[in-house]
Structure 1
Amino acid sequence: MIKRLLPVLILVIGVAGFLALRLTRPEPAEAVAQERSWRVESMVVAYGEHVPVLPLFGEVVSQGRVSLVAPMPARVAERPVQEGQGVAAGTLLVALDEADTLPPLRQAEAEVADIEAQIANERIRHDNDREALARERDIVANAQRQLERTRSLVERNLASPSDLDNASDTLARARLTVATREGAIAEHPARLQSLQARLARAEAVEQTARRDADRSRVEAPFDGVVTGIRVAPGDQVASGAVLLRLYPMDGLELHARVPQRYLAELGESLEQGEPLMAEAVEGVQRFRLQRLAGESEPGGTEAILMLEGSASGLRPGALQPVLLQRSVVAEALAVPFSALHGSDVLYRIDEESRLQRHTVIRLGETLGIDGERWALVKPVGLSAGDRIIVTHLPNAMQGLRVDVAPDDGMADESADTAPPPAEPQP
């Protein structure tokens, strides 16, 4: 009997326990929709004077670089320098073989000596002609008197007509000799001038040959660095062939293209004598804006910056990024680029921790407190002491609720770590 009642008793106890638990259960709390907020970092608005910078990317150029060439066809005898070697002024760079360079000089010297001898001979000849002319004129006078005597004798039948003809011929020959001598004397200035012209031409050739012979030993005209070596000992070079190049250790320039919209500002600063400096992004080099190029191109105008200080680490042809400091801007705000939404929007955090949209005017870039490039702006409607977000929110909008990080950091948030888009709230 008991075995039959036991299952029923267990079932009754179970049902009673279930009913007791159901009656004593707690009432569930009513669900209330909560607005979601986004954790952001912020900074306090502080206006002040800032120096905007203009990023430029230019090429290092040496205006003093020279190409040293061979003055004549010759064989290279020596080249004691190497690529990239620093040399002092007067250092031998290349020497051409004297067996090729001296013969033209010797030939030119011989030509000058020959013409000088001809000029000396012409002067002696002229002196002799003048002395001979005086004697030949005496001969003409004697022949004239002899002719007169013979004519008188013929008239008195004391001489034959043939004697008179002989006397006339003698006088004629004497006069011809005088005329020839006078012609030679008259031609002396022209002959002397011609010889002097030939001498001047020969002396010019000699000077050229001497200059080329001197230049056959190519020496450094200034302290500089050797580059662009084209020859080695034993090479045969033509006249005018480039041997090597040399650029001075100082006087390097940076040629960088400036966008058209900055030209008026930079030109005005140059006219007022305001020094504008540029610092290398990598390195310690500093450059001073010297001038703007005389011609523009569609991509902008070339700015020429002079290196200030040591050129250590710089070489012509290197590409160098720099930051050019522009004129000081007052009452401006510097913010990280992550604070900008779009190109001209900042978000202020109000008393209710909600975002308020503010439009800004971009003034350029400047160096922030972390040494990185920040945006320089002039906001509309922001006051000193207001707080703005510096975390870039892809879903930022007017009235969005945010939660400000307690450390108020200004680190740049990347796209990978940015919060996801806002979800619709119930």
Structure 2
Amino acid sequence: MRQWVLGLCVVVVATLALLGWHYWAPQESAQGRPPQVQNVHVVTPQLQRVEDRIRAVGTLSAREEITVTSEVNGRVVALNYRTGQAVAAGALLVQLDDRQARADLQVVEARLEDARRQLRRAQQLRSSNSVSQSRVDELRTAVDVAAAERNAAAVRVSNHRIEAPFAGVVGLRDLSPGAYVESGDPLTTLDAIDPMELRFSVPERYLGQLREGLALQAESSAWPDRVFNGVLAELDTRIDPLSRSLRVRALIDNDEQLLRSGQFMSVQLTLRAREALVIPEQAVLLRADEQYLFVVQGEQAERRTVQLGAREPGFVEVASGLAAEDQVIVTAQDRLSSGDRIQILPGLENAIPPNRLQAEESAP
């Protein structure tokens, strides 16, 4: 029995010794080795122009647009426009038959002239007390009434001339000389198309950055290779409670008359431009809500927590946590810890191209 217990103790001691060697011998050997050096590539942050932009979609409309109608009934005697023709303000578009209106005007003018003649004669007789003052006043009133009737008849004559109220482009021509039109009938359209008006919405959180005169660029699928420039012209006074956005209007250059009212366009509105540090996006690591990177500190890597801003494919703005003279590690940083020894390899010192960074957000 004693021999069996003694043998069991020997086995236990041998097992413990073997386990101790497996756990302790390799660690002591590793502690005796010098720390490993990690090969890395680095870049220097570049100071570049960064822009915050909003991307939205909107609908074009003419700055001024009307449907041309007639105020009176009449027969068309002349059409002085072609479809798509540019006309000046006051240009005659449609002439209706105004012979009856002119005849009525002549009758009223004759009455006015007769009333004036009677008033002059009465005023002469009044000097010799041959006519009472009440008769002179009566004739003066008759002159005023005749003058008012003459003005009304002149307006009826002018209503047969349908003129352009502003400069613009005339729409489709659906009439022919001799056609009879009634009051209110649509004759054609008139649009002031340079500049055009683009309407879209901007999220309310950008309200503090919006102001009239901000530059923007618009694109249309009808002209995929063209960019149309414009400026923010008007801001609504109310925010939509459903979409939490502000309606705005922009003026888009249309000197070549390529754009049409009702056209759909996408727009990029530049809110704010600034100079900021830009680095390759691959240098940034994420852990939970923290964004960090590694910079060179002597011969070691130092971990830095940073705040990022605008992005574009491959590059990102560093808003805080980085200085212009820092060297940012862009390779092997996922295997680094703060304080690790590093060796810098050549080849990526000028990896950031000199372009502008844009932060874009889609608006409703």
1:378 aligns with 2:316: no
Instruction: State the 1:289 CA deviation.
Output: 2.4
1:265 aligns with 2:209: yes
C-alpha separation between the residues in 2 aligned to 1:373 and 1:118? Answer: 89
Which residue does 2:192 correspond to in 1?
A: 248
Q: Do the aligned residues in 2 keep the contact of 1:333 with 1:378 (CA within 8 Å)? A: no
Q: Do the aligned residues in 2 keep the contact of 1:344 with 1:361 (CA within 8 Å)? A: no
1:356-399 deviation line (CA, Å, top 9, x unaligned): 9977444x56xx5xxx797656366799543569xxxxxx9x99
Which residue does 2:35 correspond to in 1?
A: none
Query: Residue 348 and residue 130 in structure 1: after superposition, are their counterparts in 2 closer, same or farther (change >3 A)?
Result: closer
For 1:72, the aligned partner's letter is: V
Query: Residue 124 and residue 63 in structure 1: after superposition, are their counterparts in 2 closer, same or farther (change >3 A)?
Result: same
1:104 aligns with 2:101: yes
1:289 aligns with 2:232: yes
C-alpha separation between the residues in 2 aligned to 1:276 and 1:343? Answer: 37
C-alpha separation between the residues in 2 aligned to 1:278 and 1:265? Answer: 14
Equivalences for residues 387-402 of structure 1 within 5 A: 387=329
C-alpha separation between the residues in 1 aligned to 2:315 and 2:196? Answer: 30
| Runs of 5+ consecutive residues of structure 2 not aligned to the other structure | 1-40, 297-302, 338-346, 353-364
Query: Residue 88 and residue 205 in structure 1: after superposition, are their counterparts in 2 closer, same or farther (change >3 A)?
Result: closer
1:207 aligns with 2:154: yes
Instruction: State the 1:261 CA deviation.
Output: 0.7
Percent of aligned pairs sharing the same letter: 17
Q: Do the aligned residues in 2 keep the contact of 1:60 with 1:315 (CA within 8 Å)? A: yes
Higher normalized strand content (fraction of residues): 2
Determine helix, strand or coil for the equivalent of 1:284.
strand
C-alpha separation between the residues in 2 aligned to 1:266 and 1:68? Answer: 36
C-alpha separation between the residues in 1 aligned to 2:293 and 2:314? Answer: 22
Which residue does 2:217 correspond to in 1?
A: 279
Which of 195, 199, 217 matches 2:142?
A: 195
Q: Do the aligned residues in 1 keep the contact of 2:304 with 2:321 (CA within 8 Å)? A: no
Q: Do the aligned residues in 2 keep the contact of 1:344 with 1:360 (CA within 8 Å)? A: no
C-alpha separation between the residues in 1 aligned to 2:280 and 2:56? Answer: 21
1:301-345 deviation line (CA, Å, top 9, x unaligned): 1233223473542122212112122222333547779x9989977
For 1:225, the aligned partner's letter is: V
Q: Do the aligned residues in 2 keep the contact of 1:45 with 1:333 (CA within 8 Å)? A: no
Query: Residue 264 and residue 102 in structure 1: after superposition, are their counterparts in 2 closer, same or farther (change >3 A)?
Result: same
Q: Do the aligned residues in 2 keep the contact of 1:108 with 1:203 (CA within 8 Å)? A: yes
Determine helix, strand or coil for the equivalent of 1:71.
coil
1:217-260 deviation line (CA, Å, top 9, x unaligned): x45842x3222656454543222433222223422232221110
C-alpha separation between the residues in 2 aligned to 1:343 and 1:68? Answer: 64
1:310 aligns with 2:248: no
Q: Give aligned pairs, total.
A: 285
Query: Residue 254 and residue 219 in structure 1: after superposition, are their counterparts in 2 closer, same or farther (change >3 A)?
Result: closer
Q: Do the aligned residues in 1 keep the contact of 2:123 with 2:136 (CA within 8 Å)? A: no
Which residue does 1:72 correspond to in 2?
A: 72
1:265-288 deviation line (CA, Å, top 9, x unaligned): 124xx5xxxx53212245221112
Determine helix, strand or coil for the equivalent of 1:285.
strand
Query: Residue 52 and residue 121 in structure 1: after superposition, are their counterparts in 2 closer, same or farther (change >3 A)?
Result: closer
Query: Residue 186 and residue 382 in structure 1: after superposition, are their counterparts in 2 closer, same or farther (change >3 A)?
Result: closer
Answer with 1 or 2: which has the greater Rg. 1
Instruction: State the 1:131 CA deviation.
Output: 7.3
Which of 306, 322, 325 matches 2:270?
A: 325
C-alpha separation between the residues in 2 aligned to 1:63 and 1:305? Answer: 10
C-alpha separation between the residues in 2 aligned to 1:259 and 1:56? Answer: 10
Query: Residue 126 and residue 46 in structure 1: after superposition, are their counterparts in 2 closer, same or farther (change >3 A)?
Result: closer
C-alpha separation between the residues in 1 aligned to 2:165 and 2:292? Answer: 63
C-alpha separation between the residues in 1 aligned to 2:261 and 2:286? Answer: 41
TM, length-normalised to structure 2: 0.60
C-alpha separation between the residues in 2 aligned to 1:345 and 1:250? Answer: 50
Determine helix, strand or coil for the equivalent of 1:328.
strand
Determine helix, strand or coil for the equivalent of 1:196.
helix
TM, length-normalised to structure 1: 0.52
C-alpha separation between the residues in 1 aligned to 2:328 and 2:46? Answer: 11
For 2:134, the aligned partner's letter is: E
C-alpha separation between the residues in 2 aligned to 1:59 and 1:333? Answer: 35
Which residue does 2:58 correspond to in 1?
A: 58
C-alpha separation between the residues in 2 aligned to 1:301 and 1:116? Answer: 61
Which residue does 2:36 correspond to in 1?
A: none
More displaced stretch, 253-262 vs 119-128:
119-128
C-alpha separation between the residues in 1 aligned to 2:214 and 2:238? Answer: 21
1:165-197 deviation line (CA, Å, top 9, x unaligned): xxxxxxxxxxxxxxxxxxx62431232133112
Q: Do the aligned residues in 1 keep the contact of 2:68 with 2:189 (CA within 8 Å)? A: yes
C-alpha separation between the residues in 1 aligned to 2:124 and 2:153? Answer: 30
Instruction: State the 1:350 CA deviation.
Output: 9.4
1:100-148 deviation line (CA, Å, top 9, x unaligned): x221221122023124224424654676798795xxxxxxxxxxxxxxx
Q: Do the aligned residues in 2 keep the contact of 1:347 with 1:388 (CA within 8 Å)? A: no
C-alpha separation between the residues in 1 aligned to 2:304 and 2:75? Answer: 78
Determine helix, strand or coil for the equivalent of 2:64.
coil
| Runs of 5+ consecutive residues of structure 1 not aligned to the other structure | 1-41, 134-183, 390-395, 400-406, 411-426
For 2:246, the aligned partner's letter is: T
C-alpha separation between the residues in 1 aligned to 2:177 and 2:318? Answer: 63
Which of 246, 256, 261 matches 1:301?
A: 246
C-alpha separation between the residues in 2 aligned to 1:86 and 1:97? Answer: 20
